[in-house]
Amino acid sequence: MDELDSALVRMLQEDGRRTNRDMAEELGIAPSTCLERIRSLRKSGVLTGFHAEADLAAIGRGLQAVIAVRVRPPTRAVIETFQTFLEGMPEVVSIFVLTGNDDFLVHVAVRDTDHLHAVVLEKLAKRPELADVRTSVVYGHMRKKVIGPA
């Protein structure tokens, strides 16, 4: 990636709906060059997709929590099976598979504390491989929109 690629990635992270013409104009390049660079970034896997970000409270999921989970035995099969289970839960926003004391950090967004309680007791705690679960309510969540190259 060169400086032009980095600038295009930054611009698209800031606003994935920017037009090719607008970005080309800002960068002082031809629209065809801009389009070709973006295609190349997609083909190489630097750009993995475009999405709309929804306000969680506006869609009825105003309470967020992070749930630390440990499973036993900590085998590849158990980890993969549990991850697949988590991926199927509509409350799950993101999943982190970890080393250390916990095997997973699970970010959930739910309606309220009753819904959170049900997720923990009626979905997670019923899993036979679950060894430990700790839930922390999220007061605030900030995600950087623009992440540059290292």
Task: Look up the CATH number of the domain holding residue 127.
Answer: 3.30.70.920
Residue 17 has pLDDT above 90, yes or no: yes
For 118-130, what is each residue's pLDDT tens digit? 999 999 999 999 9
Domain assignment present for 150: no
Domain assignment present for 48: no
**69, 128: one domain:** yes
Domain assignment present for 145: no
Number of domains in the chain: 2
Side by side, which strands form the sheet with 104-110? 92-97, 104-110, 63-71, 130-138
Write out the residue range of the structural domain in which residue 63 sits.
57-138
**68, 131: one domain:** yes
Residues β-bridged to residue 108: 65, 92
For 82-114, what is each residue's pLDDT tens digit? 999 999 999 999 999 999 999 999 999 999 999
**134, 61: one domain:** yes
Q: What's this model's pTM, rounded to 2 decimal places?
A: 0.86
Tell me what the mean pLDDT of segment 57-75 comes to: 97
In SS3 terms, 21-39 reads as: HHHHHHHCCCHHHHHHHHH
Rounded-to-integer distance, Cα 66 and Cα 37, Å: 38
